[in-house]
Structures are given as C-alpha cells and as structure tokens.
C-alpha cells in the first residue's frame, strides 16, 4: 500500500480527498500545518505529497522549498490559486510535479497521483506496463522477475512468471501450449502439456487473489491460451 501525505487545512476537502484515495487502496496521512508535514516527512516513508498552498502557519511554497532541499518525493500542488505566475513558480521554480486547481474531481486527482507514481517507478525500475482504458493493469519487472497486477505483486514461481510474461507482452494473441513450454524451460523436452495446464491454474489463482473472478486468461480449446484485455 502506497503512502500519501495530504497537507490541507480545510477539513471538508481533506476528508473528501482521503475518502477517494483510501477507496483506491492508498494509505493517507493528513496534516493541517506545514511544519507538521515537514516533521512527518522527516520521520516516515512517503510515496507522494499532496500540498495545499494556503496553510495556516506557512506558505505551501515554503514547504515545497524545504522538501526539495532534501527529498525527491513527488509533490502535487492542490490549490484554489490559478494565477499563471503561481503555476509557473510551483512547477518550474520550485519543482512541483503537478499543479491541480480547486475545485477538482477526486477521481481525476487519483488518476494524476497514479500517473506520478508510475513515472517514478518507471524511472527506478525497468518495467513494461500494459494498460487498459488508460489505467495500468500489468507491469513486468524483468530484473526482479516480478509481475504486478493493479500495482500489487503477483506471487508466482519462476515458471509461472515466464508464462504470464509471455501472455502479457503479447495480449489478445493465442499462444500454443508447445510455445509456452518452450518459453518456460527454454527447451520443452521432458515436459508435458499438462504441466502448462497446472501452471495456468496456479496463475489464475494468483490473479484471483488480487482481482476476484477476473477473466484475463482465456483457454482456446485445442489451440492454447491468450491474455484478454
């Protein structure tokens, strides 16, 4: 679960944002004051900061200046101030990653947060991302031999990871059992097609733990399997 620090002095707005983020599986810590936010950042791991500009104790711009002296955490400014000078100062002058003016749709804010977090991950980890309707579904990290579904790690064996990677990298294409065997072992000798059936069953169980009753993997009788997006 990714940690979001919300720095916002308006309780109603903070509650609305927190509800939207927590409904989308984020953990939210809320601070009303800039100094409290800086203390939190010094003592806790934070994946992204949502920062209001008009805070009671100090300007959000000053908070951002202090953050940028020591941290590279993504910061999205959320404010009613839509003056061009403020936007330029926040993004170019102080290094904010995004600038969102109030009022805004909480779902749009969630999408912007996910975009920033995805950008950070792609900078730090060599991943291949597969999206549907502009939302990340699968991500493959070859260096870690890891596949994520909806940004959650799937617990797979090495063989299962190879099979699912093959399906994810070329979605909506039918892969024969023979081909999947060759992907799994580099050479299929000594393995039966029943081995693939067993692994596909295990992969489906892993997918269902994150997204119950999904139908990502389709069985094409007599032909093989495909990943449906």
Contact 48, 74 (CB under 8 A): yes
Contact 92, 68 (CB under 8 A): no
Please tell me the predicted confidence (pLDDT) of residue 37: 96
| DSSP per-residue codes, 160-225 | HHHHHHHHHHSTT--B-HHHHHHHHHSS-TT--HHHHHHHHHHHHHHHHHHSTT---EEEETTTEE
- pLDDT digits over 169-185, tens only? 999 999 999 889 888 76
CA dist., res. 63 & res. 135, Å (int):
31
Tokens of 173: 């294409």
> Which are the contacts of 75, defined by CB distance < 8 A and separation ≥ 6?
48, 49, 51, 64, 67, 95, 96, 97
Tokens of 57: 């104790």
Q: Is the pLDDT of residue 1 over 90?
A: no
Tokens of 171: 């979605």
Omega into 103 within 30° of 0, i.e. cis?
A: yes
All domains of the chain in start order, with CATH: 3-124 (3.40.50.2300), 127-227 (1.10.10.10)
Q: Is the pLDDT of residue 15 over 70?
A: yes
Q: Is the pLDDT of residue 82 over 90?
A: no
- pLDDT digits over 54-74, tens only? 999 999 999 999 999 888 899
Nearest to 161 by CA among 118, 199, 111: 199
Please tell me the predicted confidence (pLDDT) of residue 46: 92
Orientation of helix 193-210 relative to helix 158-169, angle to 10°: 80
């Amino acid at each position: 679960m990714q940690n979001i620090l919300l720095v916002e002095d308006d309780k109603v707005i903070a509650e609305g944002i927190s509800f939207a983020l927590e409904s989308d599986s984020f953990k939210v810590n809320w601070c009303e004051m800039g100094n409290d936010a800086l203390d939190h950042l010094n003592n806790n791991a934070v994946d992204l900061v949502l920062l209001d500009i008009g805070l009671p104790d100090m300007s959000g711009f000053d908070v951002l200046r202090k953050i940028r002296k020591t941290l590279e955490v993504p910061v999205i400014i959320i404010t009613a101030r839509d003056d061009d000078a403020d936007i330029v100062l926040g993004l170019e002058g102080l290094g904010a990653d995004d600038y969102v003016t109030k009022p805004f749709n909480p779902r749009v804010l969630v999408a912007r947060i996910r975009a920033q977090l995805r950008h950070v991950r792609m900078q730090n980890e060599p991943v291949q991302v597969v999206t549907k309707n502009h939302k990340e579904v699968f991500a493959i990290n070859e260096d870690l031999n890891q596949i994520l579904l909806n940004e959650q790690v799937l617990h797979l064996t090495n063989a299962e990871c190879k099979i699912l990677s093959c399906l994810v990298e070329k979605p909506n294409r039918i892969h024969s059992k023979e081909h999947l065997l060759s992907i799994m072992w580099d050479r299929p000798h000594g393995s039966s097609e029943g081995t693939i059936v067993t692994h596909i069953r295990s992969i489906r169980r892993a997918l269902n733990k994150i997204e119950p009753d999904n139908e990502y993997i389709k069985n094409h009788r007599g032909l093989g399997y495909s990943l449906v997006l």
